[in-house]
Amino acid sequence: MDDRAKRIRRNSPGGKADAAKVDLTAVVVAVSNNEPCVLTIGQTDTLPSGPLALEHRSLQSGLRTWVEEQTGHPLGYIEQLYTFADRDRAGAELEQRVISISYLALTRKEHATAPSKSSWQSWYDYFPWEDHRAGTPPMVSNLLRPRLIEWADGAYDDATRLERRRRAAIAFGFDDRPWNEDLTLKRYELLYEAALVEEAMRGSTLPPPVRGKSMVSDHRRILGTGISRLRSKIKYRPVVFELMPPAFTLLQLQRTVEALAGRLIHKPNFRRLIEQHELVEETGETSTETGGWPAKLYRFRHAVLEEGEVAGAKLPLSRA
């Protein structure tokens, strides 16, 4: 054993060497055919990830290397999400602390440069209660509400029962409360706490009470973190244009925002907001893909980023 290993072992509780593994994990998002998609690898619904290595110049360069190697997708826009280091994450059974530094990445499907074993999955396959574009999903009132009330009423004291009911009402819009699309992560964590999703029942022979695909380890929680971040951010920063082709119609832009938010947008107000903040400019060309009259094509006006005009703008999401 070299001197460095001896020092680590000597300074660790119980004389055991600290074993911490640092992973870089990516929530890579694209929108295709009005459906928000997340990039997964293998056959087990896994987010692209890999260990931080000495040869990686930085965290971001390590992430870009792993994602491109595993999926063939070079990354453009990325931002750090959160560092997951809970003691009960995967690896705890090996007495190893597993730390995941997660990132949100925005891309387009056509940016793939090489064949890979990756695939695109609708994020609503993992969070089916989050898509409210056609109204509140029946599962929210028919399944989630009674199961969450049952969980709340199973508490040992009145204060906890009331607190659980209040949290469920805020998260899922019960008792005439408004639905807040930004609370994706809080909703998932509440369902996990109530043991209503598969990840909370691993090791059990019972089927999960709530429909929705699970992911390895806590990758669905990481994905939920990315969805919450993106839904919040599209309301005040023009990151949605990272997901758009170079030229697009205003209807295509609206449908992309609706897909991400899981909510419908008031069309006249949306177009008024786009014009007010001068987010786009005409290309001088038109498209007939809408099936009706030729629609004007627009492109993102990059000067907006320098002008800082978007900060504070709110998307006119429908509350119907």
Specify the residue for token string 């029962």: 161
pLDDT band at 115 (very low <50, low <70, confident <90, very high): low
pTM above 0.85, yes or no: yes
CA distances 147 to 112, 161, 186, Å, are 42, 13, 17
- State the pLDDT at residue 304: 79
What whole-number distance in Å separates Cα of residue 317 and Cα of residue 298? 22
Specify the residue for token string 């978007």: 310
- State the pLDDT at residue 116: 66
Neighbours of 38 (CB within 10 A): 24
Beta pairing partners, 80 = 103
Beta pairing partners, 49 = 25
What whole-number distance in Å separates Cα of residue 163 and Cα of residue 54? 47
Cα(first)–Cα(last) distance of the chain, in Å? 67
Structural contact between residues 118 and 70, judged by C-beta atoms closer than 8 angstroms: yes
Which has more confidence, 248 or 309? 248
User: Taking 80 as the threshold, does the pLDDT of residue 90 lie above it?
Assistant: no
What whole-number distance in Å separates Cα of residue 250 and Cα of residue 236? 18
Neighbours of 266 (CB within 10 A): 16
- State the pLDDT at residue 86: 77
* For the ranges 63-72, 78-87, 192-201, 221-230, the one whose mean pLDDT is highest: 221-230
pLDDT of 117-147, one tens digit each?
789 999 999 999 999 999 999 999 999 999 9
Structural contact between residues 163 and 154, judged by C-beta atoms closer than 8 angstroms: no
Beta pairing partners, 135 = 133
Q: Which residues contact 226 (CB under 8 A, 6 or more apart)?
A: 27, 29, 38, 81, 102, 104
Average pLDDT, the chain: 85
- State the pLDDT at residue 111: 63
Strand 20-32 relative to strand 97-106, pairing: parallel
Structural contact between residues 30 and 73, judged by C-beta atoms closer than 8 angstroms: no
What whole-number distance in Å separates Cα of residue 299 and Cα of residue 134? 28
- State the pLDDT at residue 112: 63
User: Which domains can be identified in the chain, with CATH numbers?
Assistant: 15-124 (3.90.79.10), 127-212 (no CATH), 237-306 (1.10.10.10)
What whole-number distance in Å separates Cα of residue 282 and Cα of residue 273? 16
pLDDT band at 98 (very low <50, low <70, confident <90, very high): confident
pLDDT of 254-300, one tens digit each?
999 999 999 999 999 999 989 888 899 999 999 877 667 888 999 99
User: Taking 50 as the threshold, does the pLDDT of residue 83 lie above it?
Assistant: yes
Specify the residue for token string 């709110």: 314
Structural contact between residues 201 and 195, judged by C-beta atoms closer than 8 angstroms: yes
pLDDT band at 5 (very low <50, low <70, confident <90, very high): very low
Backbone angles phi, psi at 178, to 5 degrees: -75, 150
pLDDT more than 70, % of the chain: 84
